[in-house]
Amino acid sequence: MKYVLFVPKGGFNDILCGLGKSVDYCKKYNRTLLFAMKLSCYSIELGDYFDLEDLGVRILYDTAQIKTHLMKTVFDMDLKDIFDGKIIFTWGRIAYTYKDILCTLPEEVEENVILYVPNGSGRGFDMFKHFRWKDSLKELCRTKRELLPEHYLCIQVRCTDYQCDYPKLYEDNQKLIHSYPAIYLATDNEEVVHYFRSKGLIVYCFTTFPKKMGRNLHCSTVDTRFSDVMVDLWIATHSDQLLSNSKGGFIRLLRDCFANKSWL
């Protein structure tokens, strides 16, 4: 049996894009995919939140199962050391590196395990639509949604590593924004919440923000950072309208989810 160990990096859309490339590669070269979400910035067991549809390739995403299949790679390292935090990867434009070696997907090689550590980009919804939400996650999202009125506008603002001009977004859309009885704000910056509330708006935001903000929210130490993202996705998808001038993969994912409401 041969494998690809996919070590997810970046935010959720980045992870989905890397997963898609991993699946395509495993199909082409008849490998089993080890999808290690425990190694992502979210540090979760994927199976606690989702089941995956049959994607035409064997995928293991339970950490305990993954560890039973690991052995040395082409880099002559003990892959189990990755789970213990002993292996450090360095960011690169194409992919992350280990000892200056790119952790990309090569043409077929003889090694039993290929290590893939991409930095991600692209359209994550193409893979996300194959995720099946666990009932417990659905219930969490529905409970949050029920706190909002029937009709609401969702505004998405990215304002950490990438910063959008949210005052301009407000100024350009004041009439539309104030026409709604409530606003759901999907944002990674608590200051944005304060800004929109200062405009006399009824604003809902269910994100738990860290006491000290880092480069981005998904790399924070907040325990609910992954479930908070899922709540944002769910509530944004079911909103009457989605408004944003943000850049990046997450707003692309939100827009694709919003355009495919029946999927949720």
pTM: 0.93
As a whole number of angstroms, the distance between CA 107 and CA 129 comes to 28
Predicted local distance difference test score (pLDDT) of residue 19: 97
Residue 140's pLDDT is what?
97
Question: Does the pLDDT at position 120 exceed 80?
Answer: no
Rg (CA), the chain: 20
Do 87 and 146 lie in a common domain?
A: no
Q: What is the mean pLDDT of the chain?
A: 92
Q: How far apart are CA 221 and CA 129, in angstroms?
A: 28
Q: Which CATH number is 203's domain given? A: 3.40.50.11350
Residue ending a domain, choose from 72, 98, 128: 128
Do residues 59 and 167 both lie within one domain? Answer: no
Per the structure, the complete domain to which residue 98 belongs is given by 3-128
pLDDT on residue 213: 62
How far is the C-alpha of 159 from the C-alpha of 136, rounded, in Å?
Answer: 30
Distance CA 39, CA 112 (A): 20
pLDDT for the residue numbered 25: 97
244 and 182 in a common domain: yes
DSSP state of 6: E
What is residue 36's predicted lDDT score, i.e. its pLDDT? 94
Flag the least confident range among 47-61, 101-115, 135-149: 101-115
Shared domain for 90 and 201, answered yes or no, is no
The reply to whether 139 and 258 lie within a common domain is: yes
pLDDT score recorded for residue 217: 62
Among 128, 145, 177, give the residue marking a domain's end: 128
Residue 103 sits in the same domain as residue 75: yes
The predicted model gives 181-199 an average pLDDT of 96
